Amino acid sequence: MSIYVVGTAHTKFGKLDGKSIYDLINEAGKSAFEDSPVEPKDIGGIWLANFNAPVLNSQNHLAPLVIDVSPDLRFKPATSVENACASGMTAIRQAINALNAGEIDVALVVGVEKMTSLDTKGVTYALAQAAHWESEGSKGMTFPGLFAEFAKGYMKKYNISLERLREAFAKVASKNHRNALHNPLAHLPKDISYEQILNLPEEKNPIIADPLRVYDCSLITDGAAAVILTNKKEIAKKYGPLVEIASIKHVSDYLRIDQKKNYTLEGAKIAIQSAFKEANVTLDDLDFAEVHDCFTIAEILIYEAMGLAKDGEGYKVIDEGTVLPEGKLPVNLSGGLKAKGHPVGATGVSMAVLATNQLIGKPIGQGVKNAKIGLTFNLGGSAATNIAAIFKRVN
């Protein structure tokens, strides 16, 4: 059964003072209906993606809050979805399952996170709960620390020098900050070269978890996004250009990083390659990708998972220009998590919104001429959750 996107919404990402988590849910939900031929009364099910509002906002049981978007949503089934940084794409997958089962015809998915309610220490504590608390979080391990372990293991396994890898990190960061200059909804657009990043003084680019520095890390961000999905082609035709989610694959791996023996993202590779197979596409068919660059090392490892490079050679991809806006496969034209921002529960839904708008010729930020196929990849924890999706424009 084909699943079509028939409405999208995306708030500004950033430090949104004066906007509560309730405001963000309402803004995204209302905007999605304004963009859609579907009305609230047509919705068969609601999914709300969020990672940690109980700690960040002292609010649990978020899904029924979506009903405030419209009284016509009252008495619809609403489900909260938590799956760390991959909560958004997990919620979309659950909605698709209900659509494919024929249980409903139209679904609303909202992703949201209000992170700046706490200071950096508080947010770090909240995020650490997506790691293995007993062996990692409670011992002071943070997510920069966990991805620093990936970086250190990667350097050692493939005999890559720190200087060489830091140059690649800086090129990824520079690309994404510059891409964000074209995205009016991005958190931190910035015209900065990789040479400037490398030459920043310690106080402006301090080490967060060696070898990762500030410019290697995604942002503490507020924001929300929403999509409306349907299994009815006649409804989708009213929206405009048909955009189909041709495949969505979910792969889980160990939660503890010390159980992962290989410093590549094995779960990501399986998810992405499985999505390619199910959608009957190859890497060469892609026109763009939005991927989970929570840290610069993650984007480099995702290049390998996509098949852009052999294991241990992902850092070369950025040198070759393949993933630049003018390259063969632009990656994170939005600015990615690095510069667009990473409101955790909203991130996967944001990727779906970005992919859809790219394919209908209304890109949020830089566009790809005549884009027909895009990949999104949403990661949770230290690559414990891996969800890849293929979006296609249907003729």
How do the pLDDT tens digits run along the chain, 395 residues long? 799 999 999 999 999 999 999 999 999 999 999 999 999 999 999 999 999 999 999 999 999 999 999 999 999 999 999 999 999 999 999 999 999 999 999 999 999 999 999 999 999 999 999 999 999 999 999 999 999 999 999 999 999 999 999 999 999 999 999 999 999 999 999 999 999 999 999 999 999 999 999 999 999 999 999 999 999 999 999 998 999 999 999 999 999 998 987 778 999 999 999 999 999 999 999 999 999 999 999 999 999 999 999 999 999 999 999 999 999 999 999 999 999 999 999 999 999 999 999 999 999 999 999 999 999 999 999 999 999 999 999 98
CB 295 within 8 A of CB 144: yes
Residue 77's domain is classified under what CATH number? 3.40.47.10
For 177, residues 6+ apart whose C-beta sits below 8 A from its C-beta are: 188, 189, 190, 191, 192, 335, 338, 339
- Tell me whether residue 42 is in a domain: yes
Please tell me the predicted confidence (pLDDT) of residue 16.
98
> Has residue 15 been placed in a domain?
yes
Tell me if residue 85 is catalytic.
Answer: yes
Q: What angle do CA 193, 365, 95 make, to 5 degrees?
A: 120
pTM, two decimals, is 0.97
- Supply the range of the domain harboring residue 103: 4-119+220-239
**Residue 382 domain-assigned?**
no
Percent of the chain scoring above 70 in pLDDT: 100
Peptide bond connecting 211 to the previous residue in cis, omega within 30 degrees of 0: yes
What tens digit of pLDDT does each residue of 14-39 get?
A: 999 999 999 999 999 999 999 999 99
**Do the domain assignments include residue 62?**
yes
- 342: annotated active-site residue: yes
Structural domain contains residue 290:
no
Pair 235, 106: CB distance under 8 Å? yes
**Is residue 174 assigned to a domain?**
no
Of these residues, 85, 132, 187, 292, which one is catalytic? Answer: 85
Q: How many domains does the chain have?
A: 1
State the first-to-last Cα distance of the chain, in angstroms, to the nearest integer.
17
Structural domain includes residue 76:
yes
**Domain annotation covers residue 43:** yes
